[in-house]
Chain A
Amino acid sequence: MNVLKAGARAFLHLFGLPAALLALWWFFAARSDSFYYPTLNEILSAFGETWFSSRIVDDVLPSLWRLAVGYLGAVVLGVTLGVLLGSHRQLRALLEPVLEFFRAIPPPVLIPVLMLFSGIGDSMKITVIIVGSVWPVMLNTVEGVRAIDDVLADTARCYGITGAARLRRLVLPAASPQIVAGMRQALSISIILMVISEMFASSSGLGFAIVQFQRSFAIPEMWSGILLLGLLGFALSLLFGLLESRVLHWHRGLRQSQKGEK
């Protein structure tokens, strides 16, 4: 009985508020005649019609492709630069103000700049995503590499763990909590840049499609696009959470055991 009760409560906690919000939307959209807020029915039917069509190939997949390439590029570049900068103090001192400046540039303003170099094709969008998302990965990696425990580093040296093995066995795992935190920040920046770069200059993609709908006053379709972006963000965040718990399970355990000791 108690199990049932607890289960019911958990269910209520999980779905209660979302259901209430949806009901509210349903209620108000049905009563208001505002053109801008279509009913849920309309949005959902538009969702099916709009996205389960040739748009998957024309808009959704290109967007996802740009996002994937750009994001992975940013992660690889960010970790590489971060490890380099993190392990060379002089280099870091030389580049710190420069990097501080580049990091502070709001990434979307790079879109017009990069358009000069590579037009409005995929390569521009991918470059925008890389250039904009590389910073959190890089800076977090630098912090992670700098914070490597010196006893651990000495241990590795004593046992001849140097060069590539040191990178793989010591530096990357030791910095992984910070790297993953940076990757999480980079993921949301990547999505934003994917959408913005498509909104600003494109002939395909999610951002492009949504702006098209808005300009042609296809309101339910526009909402369905917003919904799709929301679902995409949510799904990627979920996926990332899975990756995180796999990669960092040792870190969570370590932290819990340290907390227990205090």
Chain B
Amino acid sequence: MTLQPRRAGPPPAPHPRSRTRTGALPEPLLGLLGLVLLAGVLEVLPRTGVVSADYLPPFSEIADALVGVAGEESFWQALLDTAEGWGYGLAIAVGVGTGLGLLIGSVEVLRRATASTIEFLRPIPSVALVPLAVLVYGTGLESTLLLVVYAAVWPVLLQMLAGVRDVDPVARDTAASYRFTRWARLRHVTWPTALPYLMTGVRLSASVALILAISSQLIIGSPGIGKEIALAQSSNAVEEMYALVIVTGALGVCVNVAARALERRVLAWHTSVRTEAVT
């Protein structure tokens, strides 16, 4: 019984959901149990030989490797590099996407003229630019930034366009009739409407940016966790590789949680919870 009440209906207050009365665990505990079970499975599979320990070391050994890795300074440097590539890339993408979105969204001619170009450029897989990045920027941070920015700018831009389009015509007319300046209109009418969309765009971009940052390190070899994984793989340090993969997962969780928290914080005043604009 998982049906969620979507609208307040006329029926009585108690929720007509038949509770499971089996004395089941509360949900957070159940989730914890799930994690423990996963660790257990990862421990048992290689130990019993179902999966070769050469491919999948027992979880305890991965955990050991994780502790070992965490003791090395190079790991923290790699983590910092990854955070840098992600952070700068995301910041640039959000800046560019917001600016362009506001500009294109508010000027009808621009919106029409750019539509076909955006439709064409957006689906180009950013990794297609990998060889170009290598040629032009080598294996430095700039390569990572090129890929991250290209990939992360689209969600922000598209959400922003949808947000600006969503401005209530009545509000716009009201602002015009009170002779708001262009700036005041932007500040008090367009921006508040577009903000929820922007936050959705930022949340999507944040995880895309992380994926691209780590991918470019993995393929191009610019410094960061991705490069460390490639190194561990080529030197057949399997436990270490798994440990680093877990680190990237943890990073991903942090990014997702932080992005959602930010979204909630910024939109606390906003009555409606936005669904993602279908673009």
Touch between chains A and B, by CB atoms below 8 Å? yes
A-side residues, CB < 8 A to B, are 12-18, 21, 36, 86-90, 92-98, 100-113, 115-117, 145-151, 153, 181, 188, 191-192, 195-196, 199-200, 207, 210-211, 213-214, 219, 222-223, 225-226, 229-230, 233-234, 236-237
User: Residue B83 at the A interface, CB < 8 A?
Assistant: no
A103-B252, A188-B123, A233-B123 given as contacts; is B218 within 8 A of A13 (CB)? no
A211 B131 Cβ-Cβ under 8 A: yes
Residues B218 and A89 in contact, CB atoms below 8 Å apart? no
User: Which of B1-9, B63-71, B91-99, B187-195 lies at the binding interface?
Assistant: B1-9
Residue in B3, B34, B116 whose beta carbon sits within 8 Å of that of A97 in the complex: B34
In the assembled complex, the Cα of A36 lies from the Cα of B49 at a distance in Å of 52
CB distance from B176 to the nearest CB of A (A): 23
Contacts of A86 in B (CB 8 A): 2
Q: Which residues of B contact A102 (CB under 8 A)?
A: 249
* Most chain B C-beta atoms within 10 Å of own C-beta, residue among A17, A95, A148, A223: A17
A196 and B116 contacting across the interface, CB-CB below 8 Å: no
Q: Is A230's CB under 8 angstroms from B124's CB?
A: yes
B35, A97: Cβ atoms under 8 Å?
yes
The minimal Cβ–Cβ distance linking B31 to chain A, given in whole angstroms, is 4
Chain B residues positioned under 8 Å from A100 (CB to CB): 253, 256
Contacts of A106 in B (CB 8 A): 210-211, 214-215, 226, 248, 252
Closest residue of chain B to A112, judged by CB? B233
- B55 an interface residue at 8 Å Cβ cutoff? yes
Q: A104 near B230 (CB under 8 angstroms)?
A: no
Residues A195 and B127 in contact in the complex (CB < 8 Å), given A95-B34, A109-B218, A113-B241: yes
Q: Which residues of the partner chain B approach A191 to less than 8 Å between Cβ atoms?
A: 125
Q: Tell me the complex Cα distance, A59–B214, Å.
A: 26
**Which B194-249 residues have C-beta < 8 A from chain A?**
207, 210-211, 214-215, 218-219, 226, 229-230, 232-233, 238, 241-242, 244-245, 248-249
CB–CB A226/B229 < 8 A: no
With beta carbons under 8 angstroms apart, the residue of A14, A113, A229 that contacts B128 is A229
Knowing A150-B3, A230-B124, A233-B124 are in contact, say whether A96-B54 is a contact too (CB < 8 A): no
A225 cross-chain contacts in B, Cβ below 8 A: 128, 131
Chain A residues with CB under 8 Å of B273's CB are none
Partner-binding segment picked from B73-81, B107-115, B156-164, B262-270: B107-115
With contacts A17-B117, A96-B34, A104-B249 known, is A226 near B123, CB below 8 A? no
Contacts of A15 in B (CB 8 A): 116
CB-defined contacts of A145 to chain B, threshold 8 Å: 2
A105: nearest residue on chain B (CB-CB)? B249
Quote the shortest CB–CB distance from A120 to chain B (angstroms).
12
A105 close to B31 (CB less than 8 A): no
Interface size on B, residues (CB 8 A): 71
CB distance from A57 to the nearest CB of B (A): 21
Does B278 sit at the interface, judged by CB under 8 A? yes
The residue of chain B having its C-beta at the shortest distance from the C-beta of A97 within the complex is: B31
Q: Is B31 a contact of A236 with CB atoms below 8 Å? A: no
B100 → chain A closest CB, angstroms: 13
Contact call B2/A89, Cβ cutoff below 8 A: yes
B171 contacts A by Cβ under 8 Å: no
Is B183 engaged at the interface, CB distance under 8 Å to the other chain? no
B135 touches A210 (CB 8 A): no
A90 to B24, CA, bound (A): 9
Question: Are B242 and A113 in contact, CB atoms less than 8 angstroms apart?
Answer: yes
Given A200-B218, A226-B131, CB of A149 within 8 Å of CB of B116: no
Q: How far is the CA of A200 from the CA of B234 in the complex (A)?
A: 12
Chain A residues positioned under 8 Å from B276 (CB to CB): 181
Beyond the given A14-B116, A105-B252, A112-B241, could you list 20 further A-B residue pairs with CB under 8 A, ordered by the A residue number? A13-B116, A36-B136, A88-B2, A93-B30, A96-B27, A96-B34, A98-B34, A101-B250, A104-B255, A109-B226, A112-B232, A148-B3, A192-B127, A195-B125, A195-B127, A210-B130, A211-B130, A229-B125, A229-B128, A230-B124
With A97-B31, A98-B35, A196-B215 known as contacts, the answer to whether A104 contacts B241 (CB < 8 A) is: no
Interface string of B151-184 (1 = CB under 8 A from A): 0000000000000000000000000000000000
Contact B215 A36 (CB under 8 A): no
User: Cβ of B126 < 8 Å from any Cβ of A?
Assistant: yes
- The closest CB in chain A to the CB of B278 belongs to A181
Residue of B whose beta carbon sits closest to that of A148:
B3
CB distance A192 to B253 under 8 Å? Answer: no
Q: Kindly list the 8 A-B residue pairs having the minimum CB-CB distance in the complex, ordered from nearest.
A: A104-B252, A214-B131, A112-B233, A233-B123, A229-B128, A237-B123, A105-B249, A230-B124
